Structure 1
Amino acid sequence: MNIIPRISLIIYLKHMKHERQIRKFGHIVSTNRQDRFVVMYINEAEADDVVNKLMKLKYVKHVEGSPYKYLKKTYEKEQHEIM
């Protein structure tokens, strides 16, 4: 079984009624109706094509990649823990 690398996109919409049309581009994980954004997972290999297609849609305001990939995941001990 191969695990396909995926990335998370945060897509800001003009109206939430367009959420249904966005579903064909990937797997929607979360939506926020108040701030009008959708969090979606897509395959990493197709990421550039999908982002370009999303930006061409007139109801999409902005597309961001999730910063999780670039966060530091190893932690050092704090000074108060060493003593």
Structure 2
Amino acid sequence: MEIISRTSLIIYLKHMKHERQIRKFGHIVHSNRQKRFVIMYINESDADQIVSKLMGLKYVMQIEGSPYKTLKKNYERERHEYS
């Protein structure tokens, strides 16, 4: 079984009624009605095509990539923990 690399997008919408139309582009894992955004997972190989299609839609205000890949994941002990 091959693992497909995926990435998440944070998509800000003008109205949440358009959430249903966005489902065809990827897998929605979270949506916030009050702040009007959707977090969606998409295949990393198709990311450029999907982002360009989403930006062409009238009801999409902004798209952000997830910052997870740029975060530091190796933690070291701090000096005060040694004693």
Question: TM-score, with normalisation over the residues of structure 1?
Answer: 0.98
Q: Which residue of 1 aligns with 2:30?
A: 30
State, as a whole percentage, how many aligned pairs show the same letter.
Answer: 73
Q: Which residue of 2 aligns with 1:71?
A: 71
- Please report how far the alpha carbon of residue 78 of structure 1 lies from its aligned counterpart in structure 2 after TM superposition: 1.1
Q: Which residue of 1 aligns with 2:2?
A: 2
- Please report how far the alpha carbon of residue 79 of structure 1 lies from its aligned counterpart in structure 2 after TM superposition: 1.5
Q: Which residue of 1 aligns with 2:18?
A: 18
Unaligned segments of structure 2, at least 5 residues:
none
Q: Which residue of 2 aligns with 1:44?
A: 44
Q: Which residue of 2 aligns with 1:58?
A: 58
Q: Which amino acid aligns with 1:73?
A: K
- Please report how far the alpha carbon of residue 58 of structure 1 lies from its aligned counterpart in structure 2 after TM superposition: 0.4
Q: Which amino acid aligns with 1:16?
A: M
CA distance in 2, matches of 1:82, 1:68: 29
Report the count of equivalent residues: 83
- Please report how far the alpha carbon of residue 81 of structure 1 lies from its aligned counterpart in structure 2 after TM superposition: 0.7
Structure 1 runs (4+) deviating above 2 angstroms are: none
Question: TM-score, with normalisation over the residues of structure 2?
Answer: 0.98
